[in-house]
Amino acid sequence: MIRATTLQKFNQSQDGATAVEFALVAPLLIFIFMAIIEVSLMFFVSVNMDGAAIEAARRIRTGQTQVSGDPETDFTSALCAKLDSIINCGLVRYDARTMTSYSAISLTTEYDPDTGEPITYGFNAGGSGDIIVVRVMYAWTINTPAISTFFETFPGTNNRMLSSTVVFKNEPYEPTL
């Protein structure tokens, strides 16, 4: 009879149940927190890139970049000055190109099928009154396991291509000779 009461007490005991339940749920909670932080950082970088691209493109639009000694270096300096330290500016890709009309603009980013890298078209800031398309791109490495399936640009790369595109018509300005 003593043995039956000991088994009943053990069966009804709740000591340590909370710790066991937490041990079962904790990995999922940690994963969810990591995913929230990663996606938040990714969107923060994307918004930061948008602002930096707009500011750097403004220098092209007003002619400041074209009249500088080296337009591409001027653009890169303006772009990198606005990006936060979370982005390695050396890994940022960009291009600027002139268009004949607004209807000729294609805002899709094309990728090299072999490397998965975005295809850039060089840097041409254009002249007074030209229509310009400026693209800024950055490959964000996804570190949280399992969410890369939902966010990566190319399967198996763990990278999400963040991009910002600015389209505008250059203002009239007087080029210096």
Residue 13 has pLDDT above 90, yes or no: no
pTM above 0.75, yes or no: yes
Residue 27 has pLDDT above 70, yes or no: yes
Instruction: Determine the pLDDT at residue 154.
Output: 79
- pLDDT confidence bin for 16, thresholds 50/70/90: confident
Query: What φ, ψ does residue 75 adopt, rounded to 5°?
Result: -65, -45
Instruction: Determine the pLDDT at residue 173.
Output: 83
Q: Which long-range contacts (CB under 8 A, 24 or more apart) does 126-129 make?
A: 126/60, 126/66, 126/96, 126/98, 126/170, 127/66, 127/170, 127/175, 128/63, 128/170, 128/171, 128/172, 128/173, 128/174, 128/175, 129/169, 129/170, 129/172
Q: In percent, how much of the chain has pLDDT > 90?
A: 53
Across the chain, mean pLDDT equals: 87
Residue 61 has pLDDT above 90, yes or no: yes
Instruction: Determine the pLDDT at residue 65.
Output: 92
- Here the tokens at position 115 are 């490397």
Condensed to tens digits (0 to 9), the pLDDT of residues 105-139 reads: 888 878 887 777 888 888 999 999 999 999 999 99
Q: Mean pLDDT over residues 73-88, rounded?
A: 89
Instruction: Determine the pLDDT at residue 18.
Output: 80
Instruction: Determine the pLDDT at residue 170.
Output: 94
Instruction: Determine the pLDDT at residue 37.
Output: 94
- pLDDT confidence bin for 166, thresholds 50/70/90: very high
